[in-house]
Structure 1
Amino acid sequence: MERARRPGGRSARVRAAVHQAVVDLLREEDWDELSLPRVAELSGVHQATLYRRWGTVNDLINDVVTEQLAQGSPVPDTGTLRGDLEAYAVNLADGVAGPLGTLFLRAAMVGSRGPDGDTYMIERAADLQAMLERAAARGERPPTLLELMEVVIAPLYYHAFFFNRPIGHDHARALVDRLLALQAANRR
């Protein structure tokens, strides 16, 4: 008989300690210095647990990125397409502007190259698609997921990662305006 997993408890404490250790190490050390033994040492979690649970540094980073970015930029449900898009764009702009924004972007890019390393991107795409489908169910005409990514999300990441100059709230809202204007023009 398989035991039911409890939310929280020891497993959640281990995950939180390990995630915090990864974040702390990425703040202090060169990217290439990150290793499971270093994470084990800082977190107080045995190496065997890290290898059993995550297996590789990339898998661990992917888990941290998935959790951190999902917490930092949740997909909103404000009741309107514009409200949802603006709230998401502003939250994402804040997330990539934070002290670990570019580190998490880099981690997401590196982690997504492995066979199972695209967890964050898959989960985020599903969440965003659900947001767009909610808008359609309300009778609104949402953009496609690809249009949202190309017109709003990609510029936010691009500015933060390549220019090291994150976009502010007004610019994030302007990207949403541009997307909705394109949608309106395409309807004609």
Structure 2
Amino acid sequence: MGANDVGTGSRPGGRSARVRAAVHRAVQDLVAEGVLTEDLTIPVVAARAGVHATTVYRRWGSLAELLAAVAEHRFTGDVIVPDTGGLAGDLERWASDVARDLTDPDTLALMRASIGAGEAASCACTGDRRAQITAMLDHERRRGGDVPEVDTVVDGVLAPLYYRALFEPAPAQHDGGPAPDARVRALVGNLLGSQVSVSP
């Protein structure tokens, strides 16, 4: 088990779970408030959470490990793997959900803090996404279809969404509408060699 596997062997709902929840919330609140990575330290997090810094160090070891744990918790299970009956439809629906998730300012703030904290925390932002891609490709294999490699989907669909979200200004939202699904369809079409959307 890693340093971010907190609460293992502890009573559900016990003190360990309460400390974990308080520390996770403190990290998310500080990041959402715009605290820069260089100013985000374990003593600062501990003070906001109302726990001793030694408790945080003992459970997570470093700020990078703590941010990795928070990011993994935040990004696990927030986007559902669809099963539309075809890979193009699955990828379009999934990528649209990811794109919408990336319009959340708190999500972006946590991602930026994780990237600034080092490799362990950065990987936590995409680990669940890779697992979701793998699941969709496995669905298509069971249908008898040909599938690209996971890294090909990451490069062709996920990476452009993350790049735009992290490094380009947020587009104007028209009528509070969703993320630009046309862009998602184009990415999936390019990946699969067709510009035709087959999602229902």
Task: Decide: shared fold, TM above 0.5.
Answer: yes
Q: In the TM superposition, what whole-angstrom CA distance separates every residue of 1:150-177 from its partner, at most 9, and x where no partner exists?
A: 1100110111111133652332233122
Q: State the partner residue of 1:138.
A: 143
- SS state at 1:141 partner: coil
User: Which amino acid in structure 2 is aligned with residue 163 of structure 1?
Assistant: E
- Pairs aligned (count): 181
| Structure 1 unpaired stretches of 5+ | none
Contact 1:101–1:160, Cα closer than 8 Å, also in 2: no
Conservation of the 8 A alpha-carbon contact between 1:65 and 1:104 = yes
Segment drifting more, 88-97 vs 68-77? 68-77
Instruction: Show the 5 A alignment for 1:1-188.
Output: 4-28=9-33, 29-114=35-120, 118-165=123-170, 168-181=180-193
Provide the identity percentage: 40
TM-score by length of 1: 0.80
Are residues 41 and 117 of structure 1, via their aligned partners in 2, closer, same or farther at CA, if it must alter by over 3 Å? same
Letter of the structure 2 residue corresponding to residue 96 of structure 1: L
Aligned to 2:5: none
C-alpha distance in structure 2 between counterparts of 1:12 and 1:138, whole Å? 41
* Native 8 Å contact 1:152 1:172 kept in 2: yes
Cα displacement string for residues 123-170 of structure 1 (whole angstroms, at most 9, x for unaligned residues): 542342233122211212222111101110011011111113365233
Deviations 1:71-113 (A, max 9, x none): 4334444453233212221121112211123323323433452
Q: Which runs of 5+ in 2 are unaligned?
A: 1-7, 172-178
* Structure 1 residue 5: Cα displacement: 4.4
Greater relative contact order (Cα < 8 A, sep 6+): 2
RMSD: 2.8
SS in 1 for 2:170: coil
* Secondary structure in structure 2 of the residue aligned to 1:143: coil
CA contact (8 A) 2:130 2:154 kept: no
Post-superposition offset of 1:53: 1.0
In proportion to residue count, which structure has more helix? 1
* Structure 1 pair 52–79 and aligned structure 2 pair: CA distance change class (3 A): farther
